[in-house]
C-alpha cells in the first residue's frame, strides 16, 4: 500500500496521503468507538451539570486523548499491520505509540485551528514523530479538513517557537500568507505528516459532524520534561522493546 513515492514525499516534504487505507470493518470500529467516547464525555458533562468541559462542548466539539488505553479494539487497530506499515515507512526500525485522540468538529461556531507544528506543543527537545490523521468521514474545505504546508513552502524542517493565541488558546507558529494544501479525501484515508510540518484546519460549515481519529508514533518514547515519565504513552509497536517485531 505504501510506495516509494510515499516514502520520498515524507522525506522531502514531510507528508503524504494514503487513499482508502482502511477496510470497511476497521472504519466501522473507529466510528463506533468515537461515538462511545463522545457519549462518555456527555455523561461526564451531565454529572457536572454543564455543557462545556475543558475544550469539549456538548454535541459540537470533542478532543478525547489516549482512547486506546480504554479500548482493546482501538489498541488492536493501532498496533495492526496498516499502522505498522506507516511506521516503517516514516520512522524506520523502531516505533512506539505516543498518543491517540478522537477530534470531532460540530456544525455550529468557530472550529478552525491555527497554523502549528505538533512538535510546537511540546516545549522541550524531543524526537520527531509522525501524526496519522485518519478521516472517519469524507473531508473537504466545507467540513474542516486539514491543510498542510510542505517543507519547501514553509521554509523550514525544524520546530519553530510558537505563540499562544489568547482568543483561542491555540499555539501558532506560522504567520505567512500561504493557505496550504487541503486534504480532499474519502473516509478511511490517512493523511500522514511529520511533527515538524505546519498544518491547520478550517471550520465545519456543513450540517454533519466531522470525525477524525489521530494516531501518533515516535521512534523512541517521548517523555515528560522530567525525563522519566511518558508524556502520553510509550507502547512498543515494533523494534526495540517489542516482542512482536
How far is the C-alpha of 171 from the C-alpha of 174, rounded, in Å?
Answer: 10
Three-state DSSP class for residue 84: helix
Q: In the prediction, which pLDDT does 109 show?
A: 64
Q: Which residues contact 145 (CB under 8 A, 6 or more apart)?
A: 135, 139, 182, 183, 184, 185, 201, 202, 210
Among the listed residues 143, 134, 146, the one whose alpha carbon sits nearest the alpha carbon of residue 208: 143
3-state secondary structure of 242: coil
Q: Are 50 and 216 in contact (CB under 8 A)?
A: no
Instruction: Tell me the average pLDDT across 161-189.
Output: 91
Quote the DSSP letter at residue 196: T
Quick count: other Cβ atoms within 10 Å of Cβ 73? 15
Query: Of the ranges 33-42, 46-55, 69-78, 196-205, which one carries the lowest mean pLDDT score?
Result: 46-55
**Residue 57 pLDDT:** 82
What does the block give as the cell for 105?
A: 468538529
The secondary structure element, H or E, covering residue 34 is helix 24-48
Give residue 54's pLDDT.
77
Q: What pLDDT, on a 0 to 100 scale, did the predictor assign at position 37? A: 95
Contact 19, 185 (CB under 8 A): yes
Mean pLDDT, rounded, for 69-90: 96
Strand, helix or coil for residue 123: coil
pLDDT of residue 169: 74
SS3 label, residue 135: strand
Amino acid 1: pLDDT = 83
- Mean pLDDT (the chain, rounded): 93
DSSP secondary structure string for all residues of 215-241: EEEESSPPBPTTSSSBSS--EEEESTT
The dihedrals phi and psi of 106, each to the nearest 5 degrees, come to -80, -170
Cell digits of residue 213: 481519529
Which of the residue ranges 5-14, 23-32, 220-229, 234-243 would you say has the lowest mean pLDDT? Answer: 234-243
Please give the residue that has the higher pLDDT: either 56 or 238: 238
- DSSP, collapsed to helix, strand or coil, labels residue 174 as coil
Chain length of the chain: 245
Cα 185-211-37 angle, rounded to 5 deg: 150
Half-sphere exposure of 220 (CA within 13 A, CB side): 7
What is the dihedral sign for C-alpha 37, 40, 46, 49?
A: negative
CATH fold group of domain 4-238? Jelly Rolls (2.60.120)
Amino acid at each position: 500500500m505504501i510506495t516509494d513515492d510515499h516514502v520520498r514525499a515524507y522525506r522531502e516534504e514531510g507528508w503524504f496521503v494514503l487513499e482508502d487505507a482502511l477496510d470497511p470493518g476497521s472504519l466501522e470500529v473507529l466510528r463506533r468507538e468515537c461515538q462511545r467516547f463522545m457519549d462518555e464525555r456527555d455523561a461526564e458533562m451531565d454529572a457536572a451539570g454543564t455543557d462545556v468541559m475543558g475544550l469539549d462542548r456538548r454535541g459540537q466539539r470533542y478532543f478525547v486523548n489516549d482512547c486506546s488505553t480504554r479500548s482493546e479494539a482501538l489498541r488492536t487497530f493501532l498496533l495492526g499491520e496498516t499502522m505498522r506499515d506507516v511506521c516503517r515507512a516514516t520512522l524506520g526500525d523502531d516505533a512506539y505509540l505516543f498518543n491517540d485522540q478522537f477530534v470531532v468538529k460540530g456544525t455550529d461556531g468557530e472550529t478552525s485551528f491555527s497554523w502549528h507544528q505538533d512538535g510546537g506543543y511540546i516545549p522541550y527537545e524531543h524526537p520527531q514523530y509522525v501524526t496519522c490523521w485518519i478521516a472517519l468521514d469524507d473531508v473537504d474545505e466545507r467540513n474542516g479538513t486539514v491543510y498542510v504546508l510542505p517543507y519547501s513552502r514553509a521554509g523550514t524542517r525544524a520546530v519553530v517557537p510558537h505563540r499562544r493565541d489568547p482568543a483561542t488558546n491555540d499555539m501558532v507558529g506560522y504567520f505567512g500568507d500561504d493557505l496550504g494544501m487541503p486534504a480532499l479525501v474519502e473516509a478511511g484515508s490517512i493523511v500522514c505528516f511529520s511533527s515538524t510540518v505546519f498544518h491547520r484546519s478550517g471550520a465545519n460549515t456543513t450540517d454533519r459532524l466531522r470525525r477524525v481519529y489521530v494516531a501518533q508514533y515516535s521512534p523512541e518514547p517521548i517523555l515528560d520534561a522530567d525525563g522519566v515519565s511518558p508524556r502520553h504513552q510509550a507502547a512498543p509497536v515494533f523494534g526495540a522493546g517489542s516482542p512482536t517485531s
